[in-house]
Amino acid sequence: MPDQNGGSARPGLFDGVFARGGPVADDAAWLRAMLAAEAALARAVERAGLAPAGAGAAVTGAADAAGLGADDLAELARATALTGNPVPGLARVLTRRVADPAARSAVHQGATSQDIIDTAAMLLARDAIDAAVGDLTAAAGAAARLADAHRRTLMIGRTLLQQAVPVTFGVVAAGWLAGLDSAVGWLTFVRDTRLAVQLGGAAGILASLGEDGARVRALMAEELGLADPPLPWHTERLRVVDVGTVAARACAALSKIARDVTLLAQTEVGEVAEGAGDDQGAAGAPRRGGSSAMPNKSNPVASVAILGCARQAPGLLVTLLASAEQEHQRAAGAWHAEWQPYGHLLTVTVSAAAWARDLLVNLQVDKARMAANVAAAGGLPLAERVTALLRDSLGAPAAHDLVATAAARSASSGVPFRDVLLDTPQIEDKLAAAGVTQALVEQALDPSGYLGASQAFITAALDAHAAPLQCG
């Protein structure tokens, strides 16, 4: 429950992980958004000539969460249990707080509870998307810098968690960048095109406002800076689904980055490390990444927190999707089932984005360790390139089998792949018959010469990042 200043009474125990970007959809935020919706409605009915002059300002002045006392909040809690949602109690408290009796008629005029909660949900989405986009944009900027700075930083590519062909860290970071830019594009699209006011009254036709209903709705939308939809959307829930979907998409993009970092930061790999971050404690305070049991540990906290947030997104989105089937003009339970997962999905998305900004801005890249890991592979990641030298003379299957045999021998014996190729008579004979010299073998085993279109891909990602924002 909010405190008397409209904020959370105390930080939640897990907020440091799951609400790093702020409690964007906690009880206090919902309350502020519902009061903003009620205030905008009052201003709209006054502008439409359905309430006395000054009523909108009077209601707006009363609709200040900071002015709600403990008794008001307790009343809201009791009323919610009686009516199945907080709006009837909120309307009563708000009406009582309007000093001018003549202005009280503007409170909740023409509306039903769902109008206020759904409109509040759109306001929460706008604030949450703005917060997430800010941090994702900063994270994308950091990823772009990493991609450009490490265009030629060699590292092992890994598929199915096993070593594959060499890549560069620049192309890895470019892949992160593309995901971040896509997340920003879709979040921005939904914010700009899909957030709409809700005002339909008792059954979605604004019967109590008569012919003025559509105009009041348009004025309310204008007051709040939300879209004015063609008609109320009480049981057409795709706007809620769209918000949830782009939030979950953002979490998916972030979880990819975080998972890569946790794997690359493993002690045995050691190719990247998380920096201290901008919330490092003072001397004597717990340090970032510390363990309660093992003083030597330096855990990838930002990545772990992102993964903890992102893992929740699919289930939360599923609940929104499952709740989209809503009967007639108001659902019995499905609408109610949206409230908490919707708010929680916004919160974990904003938190994951804030953690991602911290992660990528402060990421430490160990170029020497990457090079050492490439060298330690003994040339085996270049087996594909060697196979290509033999394909024309032996045919693809035979060439593949021959090189696979050589690779297996190298892996089992510890003899460098080059030496197995050049010092095993039956393999050496096949190479000679194909016109493959020692110089060609050594050239094929140079990882810097087998990077394909990586430079073009990095440039394309950077160019797309610099281009006008779009969904992708």
Query: What pLDDT does residue 7 have?
Result: 52
- Please give the Cα distance from 380 to 9 (Å, whole number): 59
Based on the fold, state whether residues 431 and 456 are members of the same structural domain. no
Give yes or no for a contact between 85 and 117, defined as CB atoms under 8 angstroms apart.
yes
Residue 459 lies in a domain: yes
**Whose CA is closest to 310, among 271, 262, 253, 266?**
253
Based on the fold, state whether residues 320 and 467 are members of the same structural domain. yes
Active-site residue list: 291, 330
Query: What pLDDT does residue 434 have?
Result: 87
- The CA R_g of the chain, rounded to the nearest whole Å, is 30
Based on the fold, state whether residues 83 and 192 are members of the same structural domain. no
Give all strands (DSSP E) within 247-303, no chain letters.
272-273
Based on the fold, state whether residues 242 and 119 are members of the same structural domain. yes
Query: What pLDDT does residue 294 have?
Result: 43
Residues of the chain below pLDDT 50 = 1, 4-6, 282-283, 285, 290-297
Last residue of a domain, one of 73, 96, 111: 111
Cross-strand pairs, 273: 364
Based on the fold, state whether residues 324 and 306 are members of the same structural domain. yes
Based on the fold, state whether residues 415 and 464 are members of the same structural domain. no
Q: How many CB atoms lie within 10 A of CB 64?
A: 14
* Domains contained in the chain, number: 3
Residue 205 lies in a domain: no
The pTM score is 0.91
Last residue of a domain, one of 61, 83, 111: 111
What CATH number is attached to the domain comprising 358? 1.20.200.10
What is each CA distance from 428 to 402, 405, 423, in whole angstroms?
11, 13, 7
**Whose CA is closest to 459, among 61, 173, 108?**
173
Query: What pLDDT does residue 8 have?
Result: 52
- Please give the Cα distance from 132 to 247 (Å, whole number): 9
Residue 136 lies in a domain: yes
Residue 89 lies in a domain: yes
Query: What pLDDT does residue 3 have?
Result: 55
What CATH number is attached to the domain comprising 16? 1.10.275.10
SS3 content of the chain, % helix, strand, coil (to 5): 65, 5, 30
Based on the fold, state whether residues 363 and 384 are members of the same structural domain. no
Based on the fold, state whether residues 283 and 244 are members of the same structural domain. yes
Residue 203 lies in a domain: no
Based on the fold, state whether residues 41 and 161 are members of the same structural domain. no
Residue 224 lies in a domain: no
Residue 211 lies in a domain: no
Query: What pLDDT does residue 245 have?
Result: 98
In a 3-state reduction of DSSP, which class is residue 471? coil
Based on the fold, state whether residues 99 and 148 are members of the same structural domain. no
Based on the fold, state whether residues 106 and 134 are members of the same structural domain. no
- Please give the Cα distance from 45 to 53 (Å, whole number): 10
Based on the fold, state whether residues 277 and 356 are members of the same structural domain. yes
Domain of residue 424, residue span: 380-444
* Six token digits for residue 319: 């609940």
DSSP 8-class letter at 168? E
HSE-CB for 117 with a 13 A CA cutoff: 23
